[in-house]
Amino acid sequence: MVARVALVTGASAGIGEATARALAAAGRDRVRLVLVARREPRLRALAAELGGATVIPADLTDPDSHARIAEAVRAEHGALHLLVNNAGARWPGTFADTGWENVARHLAIDLEAPLRLTEALLPLLRRTAAAPDSAPVSIVNVASTAARIGRPSAGGYSAAKFALAGWSDALHAEEAPHGIHVGLVLPGFVRTEGFPAAELLARRRTRWIVAGPELAAEAILQAAGWEGRRPRAEVYVPRRYALLAALRILAPGLVRRATATGAFSTATRPRD
């Protein structure tokens, strides 16, 4: 079997690291990993642990990084079967206190970065999908339940993630004729290095809403249709969060009142 090439951004920790591990578990003879993040030592340690991977240290807010990543993948692998746009960040703060500057930095890492990287890699993804006997080709964008429900002090994050979700829907339709599946993963509260979730885990009534990064990684593989899974357009983590998104449409006033308390507002750092 020809090995499939998978690129994961934000791979040095959290959901990205868990996704790299899940992909590697398929077997080194069936997958070639490309790991992208800012922290090179963490990437190289993970690559060594997983038996080898292409390591590309990069700050995805750097405008020159996307073409450099695409050229590195083309030169070393000549194909790309899976792009996981996972790297992201959240900086809490009300709009009155943090203003446009905070919104802009969310847009830079949570929206512009995945769009520009996808643009740089799309020719290679299309060429891979068009090759004879090609394995399935997918793009998975990691958004957030904040792409469906806005909360106090997270407006900048929601602005970027709402836009990412809308763009993913359009890209899904645009790339289907080219043989590329586009999936969207919407995690809720996931326990990571940047979000230890100590307060939520300490209370019985909120402990159930916190998931581990491994569950998010499985959702990414499911959205991609990896290793015989049925490709999905949209996957929530945990799945019960889909009910909240539906409730936002059916009873927006109720959801706004519930989120206005800010009960679950917690600061997080970049995922990579």
**In 129-179, beta strands by DSSP E:** 137-142
SS in 3 state form for 200-230? HHHCHHHHCCEECHHHHHHHHHHHHCHHHCC
From CA 239, how far away is CA 208, in angstroms rounded?
Answer: 12
Longest dimension (CA), the chain: 56
Identify the DSSP state of 83: E
Nearest to 77 by CA among 25, 148, 3: 3
Rg (C-alpha) for the chain, rounded Å, is: 18
As a residue count, the chain comes to 272
DSSP character string of 234-251: EEEESTTHHHHHHHHHH-
Q: Are 36 and 69 in contact (CB under 8 A)?
A: yes
Residues marked active site are found at 157
**19 three-state secondary structure:** helix
From CA 139, how far away is CA 232, in angstroms rounded?
Answer: 11
From CA 59, how far away is CA 76, in angstroms rounded?
Answer: 20
Paired strand residues for 234: 184
Q: Which residue has the tokens 């959901």?
A: 15
